[in-house]
Amino acid sequence: MISLVDCNNFYVSCERVFDPSLEGRPVGVLSNNDGCIVARSNELKALGVEMGAAQHHLAPEIRRQTVLLSSNYALYGDMSKRVTDVLAQFSPHVEPYSIDESFVGFQGFDPDTLLERGHQMRNTVRQWTGIPVSVGFAPTRVLAKLANQVAKKVPAHEGVCRLEADSHTTKTILKQLPVTEIWGVARRTAERLKLMGIESAWEFRQADPKHIRSRFSVVQERIVWELRGQPVIRLDDMDAPKKQIMVSRSFGRVTNNPHDLREALRHHAARASEKLRLQRGVSSGIMVFVRTNPFRTDLPQYRNRIVVTLDRPTDDSRDIVAAAIEGLRHLWRKGYAFQKVGVMLLDITPKANRQLTLTETPQCELESQRSERLMATVDKLNRELGKGTVQLGLPRKGNAWSLRSERRTPRYTTQWQELVTVSA
């Protein structure tokens, strides 16, 4: 059995831990330079505000009752690490899937104890970090993802749900679930499936895996097996949610050479940037993570992650690689055999929505165009002459754009000067 643990409204929950007056109010968190909404509280969702909405498009009556905050990545990254540290107390097999989601493996645990463990895990995370989470257990990742949604939506589960592959409940849920809602099924795939008469998750599960493979891809075939309860998907198979991009890989052998880690990370960050440009997005922050091999219980264990803020939403590989390397500098520790390093681009918004800001000067605009041409050339060469033809050796130094984040809350957990003050 595997579980998916997902923090509820993560950015907003982090803010609420330190400012309880935000409880029960519509709260939105803005991308860098305070452009678009990248996180919403339930109350803001209920007002009909869409993800990615530009701040200046909010209707005045909504704007008046809403608290809008600048993103505080130092806080979110640190809280994310704290949550995973708690999860690691329950199982050594914790894999981050996004800044607010982790898969936690429970292979070999007594199945009858899982629900109770799930509740303990949820309560402990809440008690130790203040963050509310939902937990979904299932035999496969695809079903665990679904179990998590059920845990979140149906109050009777109290935040923890377990789905068996062949139970009546699972069947009922799959029959009601449109195929687009399955993790890993893209909208375009769903449209083609519809033409084949497959509209619900249940119909997809009943489809002939070989046929699905020949018409779509091996990953889509694996999703069919996973819906049937056969665990075949690796995390690398799955693209993260649309608003983030993850690239990571395990090393062939463990290493503690910082040079190896840097090289791997440089490659992952460049690859992630390429994917970002392909989907015409820009990212506001980057999460870097490292870990040792949890199966090597004879070796000292270490896992860590950090979020680095990008100076402004960007798709430039140079900025992204530089931020990744900067993050790694904080994470590397002597004496550990690292097995994995990876990056995750956070809060991707459409490049077209990127608005000019007050701090933008003609030089910025010029630099921006130059960056665009350079990146287009890099991508073209790599596409035509093979991956990795053009690589970035030296990341450029931090650029001169200044970050506008007027409404950022204090970095409560990572800066001594910004600790919470209590008045008595």
Q: Which parts of this chain interact with Mg ion (CB under 5 A)?
A: 6-7, 10, 100
- Among 86, 76, 160, which residue's Cα sits nearest to residue 128? 86
Nearer to Mg ion, 241 or 350 (CB): 241
- Among 239, 198, 236, which residue's Cα sits nearest to residue 215? 198
Nearer to Mg ion, 149 or 248 (CB): 149
Nearer to Mg ion, 136 or 395 (CB): 136
**Rounded Cα distance, 338 and 249, in Å:** 11
Distance of CA 40 to the CA centre of its chain: 15
> Closest approach of Cβ 72 to Mg ion, in Å?
17
Nearer to Mg ion, 39 or 265 (CB): 39
Question: Which H helix or E strand runs over 345?
Answer: strand 338-346
> Closest approach of Cβ 383 to Mg ion, in Å?
34
Residue 338 burial (C-beta neighbours within 10 Å; 0-12, 13-18, 19+): buried
> Closest approach of Cβ 374 to Mg ion, in Å?
35
> Closest approach of Cβ 100 to Mg ion, in Å?
4
> Closest approach of Cβ 98 to Mg ion, in Å?
8
Name, in order, each residue with C-beta under 8 angstroms of 63's C-beta and a sequence gap of 6 or more.
none
Nearer to Mg ion, 100 or 274 (CB): 100
Nearer to Mg ion, 6 or 43 (CB): 6
Question: Which H helix or E strand runs over 133?
Answer: strand 133-138
Q: How many helices (H) and strands (E) does the chain have?
A: 14, 13
Residue nearest to Mg ion (CB): 100
Taking a C-beta distance cutoff of 8 angstroms, is the pair 364, 284 a contact? Answer: no
> Closest approach of Cβ 13 to Mg ion, in Å?
9
Instruction: Dump the DSSP string for 207-247.
Output: S-HHHHHHHS-HHHHHHHHHHTT-----GGGSPPPTT-EEE
Nearer to Mg ion, 103 or 336 (CB): 103
**Rounded Cα distance, 276 and 292, in Å:** 28
> Closest approach of Cβ 336 to Mg ion, in Å?
29
Coil, helix or strand at residue 339:
strand
Q: Which two tokens stand for residue 152?
A: 């979140």
Question: Which sign does the torsion angle of CA 2, 181, 204, 272 carry?
Answer: negative
Nearer to Mg ion, 134 or 349 (CB): 134
**Rounded Cα distance, 96 and 91, in Å:** 13
> Closest approach of Cβ 14 to Mg ion, in Å?
11
